[in-house]
Amino acid sequence: MKRTFITLVIATILPLSVSAQNVPGAHFLENWDQDGNGAVTLAEAEQRRADVFLSFDANDDGTLDTEEYAMFDEARANDMAGSDAGNGMKRVQEGMTLTFNDIDADGSVSQAEFLARTADWLALIDRNGDGSITAQDFGPASN
Ligand SMILES: [Ca+2]
Ligand SMILES: [Ca+2]
Ligand SMILES: [Ca+2]
């Protein structure tokens, strides 16, 4: 009962915290910064990408085929609708595409391919080159 109440309160409060939505990359960090220290490390990125891969590998064969990848593309498009689609998020999205991850260009992405691209993906987003992804890697270049 108490828990239900708290959930309701949170649901009521969150839409009001518009400022959090305006922090560059907030939506990304929310999802990827697992220990909440404000920086997504390579280890965190790899772990999360492994989770993402598993959740879209519908038939559990260790490969995202064209059909599964289409679902993945659609989920990302939905996730991005109405959130901060700034220049940083474009780089995030680019690193999630089939083209980016299909290293051997056979039209599907194996788990090994997907994870092997994590470092390149992080480097793509890591604008200030400090080796992790923080709010500073998003938003206006003056950050
Ligand atoms: Ca972290
Ligand atoms: Ca492939
Ligand atoms: Ca960085």
Domain count, the chain: 1
**Residue 10 falls inside a structural domain:** no
- Tell me the mean pLDDT in the region 34-49: 97
Cα first-last separation, the chain: 44
Q: 2-10 long-range CB contacts below 8 Å, 24 or more apart?
A: none
Instruction: Name the band, by pLDDT with cuts 50, 70 and 90, for residue 3.
Output: low
Decide if 8 is inside a domain: no
Between strands 63-64 and 109-110, the pairing is: antiparallel
User: Which bound ligand lies closest to the C-alpha atom of 143?
Assistant: 3
Distance, CA of 115 to chain centre? 13
Answer whether 40's CB lies under 8 Å from 104's CB.
no
Q: Which ligand has an atom closest to residue 29 CA?
A: 1
Q: Which helix (H) or strand (E) holds 57?
A: none
* pLDDT number for residue 134: 96
Domain that holds residue 103: 23-137
Rounded to the nearest whole angstrom, what is the distance from the C-alpha of residue 7 to the centroid of ligand 3? 33
Could you tell me the sign of the dihedral formed by the alpha carbons of 90, 94, 95, 98, in that order? positive
Distance 135 CA to ligand 2 centre (A): 32
Q: Domain for residue 56, yes or no? A: yes
Report CA(91)–ligand 3 centroid distance (Å): 13
CATH no. for residue 111? Answer: 1.10.238
Phi, psi of 110 (to 5 degrees): -80, 165
pLDDT of residue 22: 65
Which tokens belong to 24? Answer: 């560059």
Task: Indicate whether 119 belongs to any domain.
Answer: yes
Q: Which ligand is nearest the CA of 132, by number?
A: 3
User: Which residues fall within 8 angstroms of residue 133, CB to CB, at 6 or more apart?
Assistant: 25, 28, 29, 32, 39, 40, 45, 122, 125, 126
Model confidence over 7-33: pLDDT tens digits?
A: 554 454 444 444 455 678 888 999 999
Task: Say if residue 74's pLDDT is above 90.
Answer: yes
- The distance between the two most distant Cα atoms of the chain, rounded to a whole number of Å, is 53
Q: How many residues does the chain have?
A: 143
Predicted local confidence at residue 27, as pLDDT: 86
* Domain assignment present for 14: no
CA of 61 to the centre of ligand 3 (A): 34
Model pLDDT for residues 77-135, shown as the tens digit of each residue? 988 776 655 668 889 999 999 999 999 999 999 999 999 999 999 999 999 999 999 99
Question: Is 33 inside any structural domain?
Answer: yes
Question: How many angstroms is it from 107 CA to the middle of ligand 1?
Answer: 32
pTM over 0.95, yes/no: no
Q: Which of 44, 42, 64 is nearest to 53 (CA)?
A: 64
So what's the pLDDT on residue 120? 98
Question: Would 35 be classed as within a structural domain?
Answer: yes
Domain membership flag for residue 113: yes
